[in-house]
Structure formats: structure tokens, C-alpha cells
Amino acid sequence: MASSRTSDTVLAPYAAHDAQSRGRRYSEPPAAYRTEFQRDRDRIIHSTAFRRLVYKTQVFVNHEGDHYRTRLTHSLEVAQIARTVARAMRLNEDLVEAVSLAHDLGHTPFGHAGQDALNECMREFGGFEHNLQSLRVVDELEERYASFPGLNLTFETREGILKHCALRNARALGDVGRRFLERRQPGLEAQIANIADEIAYNNHDVDDGLRSGLLTLAQLSDVPFFAEQRRAVERDYPGLDPEALAREVVRRMIGELVGDLIRSSEAAIADARPEHIDDVRALSRPLIGFSPPFVSAQSGLKQFLREELYSHPHVRRMTDNARETIRVLFEAFSADYARLPAKHAARAEAAEAAAGRAGAARVIADYIAGMTDRFALNMRERFEGRIGD
């Protein structure tokens, strides 16, 4: 058994070991001073798509305030949570970091509203899925290296990025798509990054929701998990002011969720007794997961946010405008490819010649998905003639 080391911890035998990686699409000599997964992480951080995340919406549109999460800070929080879990479980911290930082690279401007709108625009042309788009970004769309397209990441990082995938798309993907057809699991590092994403957004959306005033402490106290942590904070720090109370509750919720995730996943692993990452992959159910009380804690938070924050009239106004922006842009580019930058226009022409309108539509979707919020808004204004042109 290979015994790779990470952060002074010997990896568990069923972790993703560098030496057992299924490799890159284009073979490359190993890096001199880094593991394969460190190299993946570094390529992700140096990508253009990563830098754009700072100007993409998580829930609140980027220009609404300087303290709200953006997709970049969200991705950093996911990585931080995932690394804690991975290290505690003797799993590969470099790999969970790479997957976490890359998981939203394909996200459109304007958060979920943007992705839903683009999916609608693309309905006749194969649809739009942001997970799949993240994979497309690292496999094809990033242009940085002379010897291959995309970032040429390892199979394990690509496997982790593709969290969900429609079956028709999975068929076209080959290696990373296969597990969806066979209903199998990815490695444990990918499973951790997936749940770390949920822990991060549920908690930071509560925090941002309170900060914005769209949510109140009184409302949140109807959520049993929040109420329980609030009682504990009030016991430890009587008379805390509401802002400090909220911060402390969120901090404890993350701590409780992470602690349960580690304990409950360790127990599941002890039962399943995998000896190799391929034993994990062969299972029909994930091994990383919460115990039943924490499954309901997590889903209680999620449901509350869906009802009270994501559908709040203020957020709705933002999302309606976002949908309209994506639709205007998609129609404008579809009507005249010359409105795209020259390189993309040439690609759209070539794709149309090769694959008809669906080919050109994909080039347009790629271009729109890559936009930051403000770039998309400025471009819409230009098309609508509000600022000269």
C-alpha cells in the first residue's frame, strides 16, 4: 500500500493517494516539489475563471454590499471546511481543497437564478448544468497552457467537480460520467467537498441573511437546530448583543455539523471496511454523511432558507432582473454572432457549421456563463441602448 503523507498525517489506505491517481487526460511528467493534487489546486487558483468568482453572486448581488459572500469567498469557506474534515479523517487534504476551489468555476453570473435562466435559454440545445460547466471550464474552456487545452487536471479532481450530472450528459463524458450510469460513488474526498458545500452555504446564507436584515433572529428561532445552539450561546454568554449572538450561533452550528459529519462518516467507514479508493467507488451509497439528527438539522436550515431568504421579495427582485438579463443577452447573441467578441463569434460560426444551432448556442452559453455580474449588467445596458452605442 502506498503511504503518501499529507500535513504530517499518514493517509488512510482508502484515501486518494497521489501514486494511485487515474492520471491526467494528457500525460505530463510529475511536478518537482508538489503532489499531483497540489498541482491541480495551483492550476485552479491561477485560472481566469477562479479570479472571476469574486464578482459573481452567491445570494446577494455583488454590488449590494462589501460584506456579503461572493462565489469566491463561498469557495474558500467550502475548502476550509472540507480540509478540516479531510485532515481529521486522514483523507487527502490537497484533493479536497482542489475540488472545493473548483466546484463553482462554471457558475453563471447571478447565482442560481442565472443558472436557471441559462438552462431555460438552452432547453432546445441540451440545457445548462453548472456542475457540468465547471468540468467544461477545467477540461476545455480555460486557455493557459501551451501543450493542452483546459487545465489538464487529474481524474480525481474532475470526478469531484462533477457532483451531479444528467444521464444523457453522463453518457457523453466517458470516464468521469460512468459512475452516474452505474449509480456508483466518487472517492471520499469528492464526497466531503460535496457536503462541505452544503454546510458552507447553509451557514453563510444565515449569516448574510441576518446581516442584510432580510432574516431576523426571531424567525430563525423557529428552526430547531438554530434555537438549540442559540440557547447554548445564551447560557454561556448571557446578555450578548444580537449581532454577536448571531455570529456565535453560526460558528457553533458549523462546528456541530462538522463534528457530526466526521464521527458519523468514520462509523460508516468502520462498517463498510473499504481497503482502497476503488472499494469506496464500488458502493451504491456514500460513506460521508451526517447522523440522522444532523440530517434533519441540515435540511431544516435549508428549507428555512428556501422559504424565507431565497424567495424573499428583495431577493426575488434581484433574481427576476437576473433572469431577464441572461435572456436578453442570450437572444442578442443568438440573433447576431457579431455581437460576441471576435474569437467567440468565430467559434460560434464554426460550431454552427459543425453541429447546427445547438453548437452555436453552446458557444454563447459558455460566453455568458463566464461573465461576472457587473459585466453582464453592463452588456445588457449596451444592448438596450441605455449608454450610448
Note the residues at the interface with Mg ion (CB under 5 A). Answer: 104, 197
DSSP state of 13: T
Residue 93 or 104: the one with the smaller Cβ distance to Mg ion is 104
To the nearest whole angstrom, how small is the minimum distance from the Cβ of residue 161 to Mg ion?
11
Residue 159 or 197: the one with the smaller Cβ distance to Mg ion is 197
DSSP state of 11: P
To the nearest whole angstrom, how small is the minimum distance from the Cβ of residue 129 to Mg ion?
13
Residue 11 or 206: the one with the smaller Cβ distance to Mg ion is 206
Residue 197 or 205: the one with the smaller Cβ distance to Mg ion is 197
Which residues lie below 8 Å from residue 33, measured CB to CB, with a gap of 6+? Answer: none
Residue 18 or 197: the one with the smaller Cβ distance to Mg ion is 197
* Residue of 93, 102, 94 lying closest to 131 (CA atoms): 102
To the nearest whole angstrom, how small is the minimum distance from the Cβ of residue 111 to Mg ion?
10
To the nearest whole angstrom, how small is the minimum distance from the Cβ of residue 75 to Mg ion?
7
Distance in angstroms (rounded) separating the CA atoms of residues 265 and 257: 12
Which residues lie below 8 Å from residue 136, measured CB to CB, with a gap of 6+? Answer: 106, 366
User: In the block, which residue shows the cell 433572469?
Assistant: 323
Distance in angstroms (rounded) separating the CA atoms of residues 287 and 363: 38
Residue 342 buriedness (CB in 10 A; 0-12 / 13-18 / 19+) = exposed
Residue 45 or 282: the one with the smaller Cβ distance to Mg ion is 45
To the nearest whole angstrom, how small is the minimum distance from the Cβ of residue 196 to Mg ion?
9
Residue 104 or 156: the one with the smaller Cβ distance to Mg ion is 104
CA dihedral 275, 278, 284, 288 (to 10 degrees): 60
User: In the block, which residue shows the cell 422559504?
Assistant: 307
To the nearest whole angstrom, how small is the minimum distance from the Cβ of residue 304 to Mg ion?
18
Distance in angstroms (rounded) separating the CA atoms of residues 261 and 272: 16
To the nearest whole angstrom, how small is the minimum distance from the Cβ of residue 105 to Mg ion?
10
* Residue of 323, 107, 101, 298 lying closest to 205 (CA atoms): 298
Helices (H), 122-241: 130-136, 155-161, 167-173, 178-182, 188-212, 217-220, 224-236
Residue 250 or 361: the one with the smaller Cβ distance to Mg ion is 250
To the nearest whole angstrom, how small is the minimum distance from the Cβ of residue 104 to Mg ion?
5
Residue 6 or 194: the one with the smaller Cβ distance to Mg ion is 194
To the nearest whole angstrom, how small is the minimum distance from the Cβ of residue 290 to Mg ion?
18
Phi, psi dihedral angles at 156 (to 5 degrees): -65, -40
Question: Residue 248, Cβ neighbours under 10 Å: how many?
Answer: 18
Distance in angstroms (rounded) separating the CA atoms of residues 342 and 367: 12
Which residue's Cβ has the minimum distance to Mg ion? 197
